[in-house]
Structure 1
């Protein structure tokens, strides 16, 4: 599991998070004082993030803000920062989030300074969700959600009998240049993102399932055009097992203002 496949179905009803809005903006070290007992060597990882983060920032991020984004993207196994953070964000016991409030404030301020993205992005999960998500179902993703604009990045983290999510994002934030893995074309969907299942899963030979999601936005004029996905998988191998290689072809239907959104990029 990594950031792009760290997943919860999003069907639980949880209370939205507001408490951190009024928190004072502090340094990265100060924002994580209460978290130090829960993540081994966190102080060391904070130092690494502050040393290697993208600063000065052309988007106006402070060093602490940039380091907060960088720290979120660092991978060091089961105890990785993003895993512990997302576990808290998904917890039904919302009181567990209170120690995270100072960091969430710093992280959100950083993310809001980065470019907003309206485009098709991808996530994946190493399980078959084709029977659990149905057309018109509404989901709320309570964690920080890493996506990539490149399906090739996501393909590297999934196997057969996996699910790919094609997401029409309208409020994504592009963190390329601010991560520990700059070649992953990473975008963030923030906690509380609401999505609608646009179609039942496309199920294909080899166990790959593609589910089309649309981010729900207050401004419907900013929605992307519907996307049609075709996934082509090779025949099964001689031993009867499906081969892992596959290719994905994505086509867009351009209409009106949506065409302008794409052409302006």
Structure 2
């Protein structure tokens, strides 16, 4: 077998593997939307329907018109926005500090970040609830946001630290030789190069805060304070049959903001790669 034939065969195998991975990743999403568009009788049927031949938007209307959807949407949006902005702000400052400066207990701080990530958040759920209850932050957006920030901040710091380390300090020194101050060199040269890292960690924080269920279930106990994952749970009841078409429709509505957010920021992941390294 010639070298060219081996290259072609390898390329074909890689393409086939990529297609298989893509189908396995997309199929659950397709099945969710497909089920949401099916009538209730088709969903309960023993025969699987891989295409909604008699599709209906009744399930989407039922989920949208449910009295708890819009309040839960507002709370989820508020908590997620607060979590993403705060985590990126403090994570960015902390990552720059541990990467660009040498100070006492720097290594201890880095090791502490790793150790904190190894501790399951659910192991501290009782003590967390008691602390928030003592501060009168149960059933509040601020209380739940504080928990989510504490959950995503260690990962945010660790990830952004890798991006900051990947930007040579020589670029800032070259800009300072050209007449920039240290702050100007950082914001004009280094910060644009960190844009992909900020976007990546922002997506992680967004997904974590948007989909988190356990802490929201324990902390947001009032019906008017529930987030979208808790609202979606209300359709699954032990006293009556679950309308899975409505559950899938609600899940689809929950996924739409995540998709929109990713479409908005995905172009930013590469736009900042070289924008700060080009001298105008």
TM-score, normalising length from structure 1?
A: 0.23
More helix by share: 2
More strand by share: 1
